[in-house]
Every structure is written in C-alpha cells, then in structure tokens.
C-alpha cells in the first residue's frame, strides 16, 4: 500500500483544502458541505498551497503505519474526486410489478412485499429514478434504474448497499435489486419428468 501512500494528491482548481488538528477538510463545487477526514496521529499530512499538492508521510515502516499510509492517501484522494466529479452507483430494480420512485427526497421501493419500503438517503446523497422508457428489460423482465449520487464515496456505496439489501436478486428468475453490471448466479428450477 505504501506505493499509493507516496503519491501526492493533486488539488484541482476550485477546491479548497485545510489541514489542521489532525483533520483534512475539503470543499468543492459538488459537495453541499465540506468533507472531513480525521487521520491517525502517527501520520503527517501536509498541504502545499503553492504547488496545490497534499502529501502523506509515515514515521516508520511498521506494518500498521504502512497500511494506514496508503489508506489515508486513498481516502483523501477520494474526497478530492468526490467534491470535483462526485460518485455514482447505479442499481436495477428487476421484476414484474417491481417499481422505484422518488418522493420528498426519499426512495420508495415496491418489490413484492405487502407494503412499499421507504429509504431516506443520508445528507449529501441524492437518488434519482430515470423514466421507464430509458431502461431496457433484463433477463426478459421489466427493469427500472435507480441512480445514487454524492460527493462522499463511503455514503454513496453504503446507501446503494442498503437499497440492494431490501430485495437482493433471487437465483431462479433473477428478480430483485442488483448493481448495474452485477452478474447474478442463476440456478435451474426443479424439472419434472414424466414417469416411464
């Protein structure tokens, strides 16, 4: 991981960075509020205002410090990418009668249960459902797309996982909620042979 840790994080134009009191704070156009990360005290994080570069340094080559070095650098790079480009996760709701819609910033899922399930995204995460015309059927079943976007990679991934958890894809017909390019392992149904 240390090879990743040694690489400097380049700060693009329009992004503000503050490093103080063991915290990195990153502000940018895609983030509604600044992203913060508290880094381990053993590491040294410096921001050079002239070259617009963040460097992460570790005190020694102990295993834990090596791991934290690469992790901290990756998290800071993700924060910078998040406030400039943002992160997106796409999911497909697959099945006859299965639907997703957005109501008052929440997503409402109708996926074969007695009642619809409503999930509220965390701060800084938005959910959109494009029109049904834009979505092609999957495995011969109607499908809808759900798009989760935000500046914080961890929050976007976590909320997408929570949506999928409501109704994971089942292996026989493939109905359920899956990530866009997820391969669903399929099983054969029971086959009945006529007795001879």
Domain ranges across the chain: 2-84, 87-179
Element (H, E) at 187: none
Q: What is the pLDDT of residues 112-158, one digit of tens each?
A: 889 999 999 998 899 998 876 666 788 788 888 999 999 999 999 99
Higher pLDDT, 1 or 53: 53
CA distance 31 to 104: 20
- pTM (two decimals): 0.85
CA distance 94 to 155: 24
Query: Rounded to an integer, what is the distance from CA 1 to the centroid of its chain?
Result: 22
The band of 66, judged by pLDDT with boundaries at 50, 70 and 90, is confident
Q: How many CB atoms lie within 10 A of CB 190?
A: 6
The answer to whether 2-84 and 87-179 have equal CATH topology is: yes
Element (H, E) at 81: helix 63-84
Q: What is the pLDDT of residues 153-181, one digit of tens each?
A: 999 999 999 999 999 988 888 889 999 88
Angle separating helix axes 153-166 and 63-84, nearest 10 degrees: 80
pLDDT value at residue 5: 79
Q: For domain 2-84, give its CATH number from 3.90.930.12, 3.40.50.11540, 3.20.20.150, 3.50.50.60.
A: 3.90.930.12
Q: Is 109 helix (H, G, I), strand (E, B) or coil?
A: strand
Q: How many CB atoms lie within 10 A of CB 107?
A: 24
CA distance 1 to 7: 11
- CATH class of the domain defined by 87-179: alpha beta
What dihedral angle (degrees, nearest 10) is formed by the CA atoms of 142, 122, 27, 8? -70
């Amino acid at each position: 991981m240390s090879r990743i840790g040694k690489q400097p994080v380049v700060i693009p134009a329009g992004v503000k960075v503050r490093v103080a009191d063991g915290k990195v704070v990153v502000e940018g156009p895609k983030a509604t509020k600044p992203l913060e990360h508290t880094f381990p005290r053993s590491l040294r994080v410096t921001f050079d205002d002239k070259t617009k570069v963040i460097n992460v340094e570790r005190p020694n080559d102990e295993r834990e410090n090596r791991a934290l070095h690469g992790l901290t650098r990756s998290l800071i790079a993700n924060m910078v990418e998040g406030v400039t480009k943002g992160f997106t996760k796409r999911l497909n709701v697959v099945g006859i009668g299965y639907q997703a819609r957005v109501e008052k910033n929440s997503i409402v899922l109708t996926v074969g249960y007695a009642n619809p399930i409503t999930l509220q995204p965390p701060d800084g995460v938005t959910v959109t459902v494009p029109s049904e015309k834009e979505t092609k059927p999957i495995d011969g079943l109607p499908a809808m797309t759900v798009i989760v976007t935000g500046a914080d990679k961890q929050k976007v991934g976590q909320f997408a996982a929570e949506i999928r958890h409501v109704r994971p894809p089942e292996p026989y017909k493939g109905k359920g909620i899956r990530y866009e390019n997820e391969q669903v392992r399929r099983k054969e149904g029971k086959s009945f042979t006529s007795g001879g």
